Each structure stands twice: as structure tokens, then as C-alpha cells.
Structure 1
Amino acid sequence: MDLPLNALRAFETAARHLNFTRAAEELHLTPTAVSQHVRKLEQRYGVQLFRRLPRGLALTDEGQALLPMLAETFERVAGALSSLRHGRPREPLSVGVVATFAVGWLLPRLPAFQAAHPFVDLRLFTHNNRVDLAGEGLDQAVRFGDGHWHGTDAVPLMPARLTPLCAPALARRLQQPADLAGEVLLRSYRAAEWPAWFAGVGLQAPPLRGLVFDTSLALAEAAAQGAGVALLPATLFSQALDSGRLVRPFATEIDTGRYWLTQLSSRRVTAAMGAFSSWLQAASADPAVQDSLRSAP
């Protein structure tokens, strides 16, 4: 039987990523070549497999019917070939991660994940909590919020309770929460955070005139340099707190959301996705597990 294997492989890879560019990276082709393979496949069988969207792709009914069978076939072939060489093929996994979570929590623990799952070829793409899974060709994404994103499955990871952090010299001027009214209060693009924190200590928030930042990393650096006081998740800035660059003047925290691992509801879960999800949930849920993962080789 004359099967168009290259075209079928191009379709299967593009369907997994819902993105020609990510498929091209995996197949070591150009996005144009992948698109042409898929178009020739569609022309050969007289069906449309994708709907081309302004950003990314969406499977048609015909594409959704073909993908599981094709993916299973390729996986079985890969498994058979892998058994011949007594190894397991590496599976790419593209994950978008909020930069604060990546730097403050994930990166120190990644060696443990890679040691436990060497078959996963993990590719990280940081973002500032604005992410388009389909348009960016991501398998999964870690983001902050309430867990409700249209067309997306979300698994809860860890809370990110906010508390004031600042430079040591500034902290020496703060004896009680009311003293914050005389300081520059640095802000994120979520305007309700400072009013919520002041409400938590029984005070009304003063007028907010500090700089606005779109990432917590920049917010923390500004605070460490003495530009003002920032509301930040202390658990994700433990290194700066341990080194003394940042100080926590008050214990009060507010809970405005948590981190979630998300993926498109229509996305088939691969072995790499399942491995990363299971590891991430276990590592972020149990402090004892976190400590053991951090000390793993």
C-alpha cells in the first residue's frame, strides 16, 4: 500500500502541537514544508484536516477522527523500534511557565524531574501570565489565577499568598502596617491587591502612586533596590529573603489565587504530559516531597 508517511507524520505532529512552527521544530523542517505536507494529504483524500485560525490551528471532525489512530500507530512503531535498541525515545514537551514560578520554584527542581523522566525533552517558554496555548504551540502551561480559562483543563498546583516585601533599609522604618501609607507602594497590573491586603489588617488603602509592573520578577527587583514596597508571594522569593536582599516586615498574607497547570481540553494527553503533570502536582502539594525532590541528584 502506498502510504504518504511523511505527510501523515507532518499531520500527526502538527495536530499534537496545533501549530505548524512547533511541528517544524520537532521534525527539523520548515513550517512551510509541514504546511505543504498537510495540504497535499488533504488534497489526496479530499478532506480538510485543519481549520487555519489567525493564531494556530484547530482540528476538523475529520482531523479529530484521524489523529488518535495515527498517533497510536506512530507510538507503537516507535515503541517497537525502541525495544530493539533497549532504550526509550525522547518525547518533546513544550510548557509555558509564568516567569516568577519558573525562577522561584521550578528551575531548582527540574534536575529531579529530568532524572526521574529522562525520556521527556522539556522545552520551557516563560510568559507573564498571558498565554495562548494553541497559538504558541504549547502542550501545557503554568499560569496564575482562579482556574477558569475557556476551553482549558486546569489542575491546581500551589497557592501564591501575597505579603509585603522590601529592602532591609526601608523595612527598618516600618513598625506597623499603617506606616506603609508613608512609603511608595509598588504595584502589579492587578489593581485590587493592595486594597485587599490593607483590608486584611483592618485599614483603608492609601492612594497608590507607585510604579506598575507586568511581572513579579521586575517588581521584586525594584523592591530589593529600594524603590518601594511590593506585594509578592514570599514562597517564590525564598532565595532573596534568605540572602537578605528582601525583608518581610509583616506576617499578614492575602490569597488572590493559585498556580495551575493547564492544557487545551481537546488536547490528547501524551506520556510526557502525564509524567510532567503527575510530578508537578506531587512536588507542589507536599512540602516533604518538595524537599526530597530538591535534594535528588
Structure 2
Amino acid sequence: MARAPVPLNALRAFEASARHLSFTRAADELCVTQAAVSHQIKALEARLGVTLFRRSNRGLLLTDEGMALAPTLIDSFGAIDRLFDRFDTGGVAEVLTVSAVGTFAVGALLERLPAFRAACPGIDLRLLTNNNQVDLVAEGLDYAIRFGDGAWHGVAADVICPAPLTPLCAPVVARTLREPGDLLRTTLLRSYRSQDWPAWFAAAGLEVGALHGPLFDSSLVMVQAAMLGNGVALAPAAMFRRELDSGRIVQPFAIEAAVDSYWLTRLKSRPTGRAMQQFRRWLLDEFARERGDESK
């Protein structure tokens, strides 16, 4: 024999009472009387065959059964309330999950988020960060922004902007550097991309052998180390404009190595919904305008 369904009003009364640990405050929230809340709780206890609350000198307490039930109902009703809040603010926002290499997120994307929200108010952006090693499938991502040559297997990639690399260091370190070769006598801070420093030295007209120095998996951390005087980092100056403008870090040489770019990537097999299309269009247009390129 099928069991009778649990009344929704009783669940709502219990959820509010469990949050407030008060029938009176629950009644105020639900715009009913305290007696009505108490009646709903008793009906729910009768339906479940358990006691959900007990009274003590400290007031209303949840029983073990009540504590087992409360988290699920609080989460569920909270999700429903948030959903209706979206309708109240103009409709249900479409969730978009984007992972970005930390350097790009901090150096370029965060300052543009107000413009994105203004241009695409119907998108609920979830922004994650990565160290350029990302799994679009396992992490359930719509897009990943990463640094490289754009050649990732099974991935569609749109170039966002070039990111030429240049030495960056603290002013006190820069005073010891008169020509590019002086870098070989200081501490070089390196990323996991072993080709970057050799590419910069080649752009400076120097051939180098094996290079040594601390290794970092994040350009953000590497440049922080450089600002503390721990050596010279090689990073895209465009991502550290605030630090350069403040004088916390300097670019000792104008030479840049055009190695790779930042790319917006997605799985080729992933359908592009409205939110994905809007984000792609906004992001590429934003950087195209800065380059004076209206072809995007």
C-alpha cells in the first residue's frame, strides 16, 4: 500500500523552525500563527513516526531525527528560494562555468567583470582558476582560458590576445642589470615551460645552455617572488600593468619574446548554448577593440 505524501506545508514549517529553533520566529517568517506551525510539526511527526523537536531550558532543540532531516530540507528550500529570486530580478540566469589561468584571471579578466555583467546580465558566471593544466570534461567546464599555442586535442580554440614574455624584477635587482647578458649572472625564476627563457634570450641575440633557478607552476607566484627580490621572472607584462604602474616591479629591458597567446577553449563536442555564445562574443570583442581589430 502506497504511503501518503508528506504535506509540503509541514516540511516548510519544519525547515523554518529548524533554522530558527523557534516556532514563533518560523511563524513570523511564514506569515502564519505559532499554533499553525506547531500543528504542522505535529502532523509531520505523526506522518514520520518520530519526534523532531524537544524542549529544554535553552529553548527548542532538534532531536537526532530532526538533525538528520534538517540539512536536506534547508538546502532544498534554499535552492527554491534562490531560484525564485532570479525570477524576481528579471528571469533565470544561465550558469556558465569558466576556468582561467590565474595570471589572466587576475591580470585581465577581473577588472572587466563589471563590463561583462552589464553586457550579459542573464549569465551567472562561475569563475575558477587553473595553472594551465585543465580537464574540460572532468571539471564540467564550458570554457577554459589557457596559455599556449592553441593546439589542444579535441578542443576548439579562439585566440584572445598575444602575450609576449619579458623579464620582470624588483627595482633593486633591475639596478644590477645593464644588458641582457647580465641576467645570466642573476637568479632566473622559471615556469614549467622550459622553452620560455631560451626564446627570450634568442630574441635578445644570445644563445644559452642549460638554465637553472626556482621553478613555479604559476606566473602570479613567480612574479610575486620577483617583487620580493628573489630573482627575475619572465612573464607577460600586459598582465602585470598595475604592478608596473605602481613601481613595485620593473621591466629592465624592452625586449619581448612572442612565444604564445591566451586562448578561449572548449570541447569540440560540446554544444554551445546561448550563454557560451554570448561570453565568447563579449570576450573576443573586448580584446579585439583594444587591439584596434574589429574583425571579430
Match of 1:178 in 2: 181
Displacement of 1:208: 2.1
C-alpha displacement of 1:281: 0.1
| Matching of residue 246 in structure 1 with residue 245 in structure 2 | no
Question: Which residue pairs with 1:259 in the alignment?
Answer: 262
Letter in 2 for 1:168: P
Q: TM-score, normalised by structure 2?
A: 0.68
Q: State the match for 1:208 in structure 2.
A: 211
Residue 195 (structure 2) pairs with residue 192 (structure 1): yes
1:287 aligns with 2:290: yes
> 1:19-168 to 2 correspondence within 5 Å?
87-168=90-171
The count of residues paired between Structure 1 and Structure 2 equals 211
Separation (CA, whole Å) in 2 of partners of 1:275 and 1:88:
17
Task: Report the secondary structure of 1:226's partner residue.
Answer: coil
Q: CA deviation at 1:206?
A: 5.7
Shift of 1:88: 3.3
Give the match's secondary structure for 1:237. Answer: helix
Identity across matched positions, percent? 54
Provide Cα deviations, 1:265-297, integer angstroms capped at 9, x if missing partner: 11111111111100100111221789xxxxxxx
Unaligned runs of at least 5 residues, structure 2: 1-74, 77-86
Equivalent residue for 1:231, pick from 234, 237, 256: 234
Is the 1:181–1:206 Cα contact (8 Å) retained in structure 2? no
Specify the alignment match of 2:281 in structure 1. 278
Return the letter of the residue paired with 1:283: E
Deviation at 1:177, TM superposition (A): 0.8
CA distance in 1, matches of 2:269, 2:201: 41
Give the deviation of 1:86 after TM superposition.
Answer: 9.5
CA distance in 2, matches of 1:115, 1:274: 16
- The more displaced of 183-192 and 87-96 is 87-96
Partner of 1:32: none
Cα RMSD after superposing both structures: 2.2
Once the two structures are superposed, residues 156-193 of structure 1 have per-residue CA deviations (whole angstroms, 9 ceiling, x without a partner) of 11011000000000101111111112111110001111
TM-score by length of 1: 0.67
One-letter amino acid of the counterpart of residue 218, structure 1: V
The one-letter amino acid of 1:261's match is L
Corresponding residue SS for 1:199 = helix
Q: Does structure 2 conserve the Cα–Cα contact (< 8 Å) formed by 1:194 and 1:205?
A: no
Q: Which has the larger radius of gyration?
A: 2
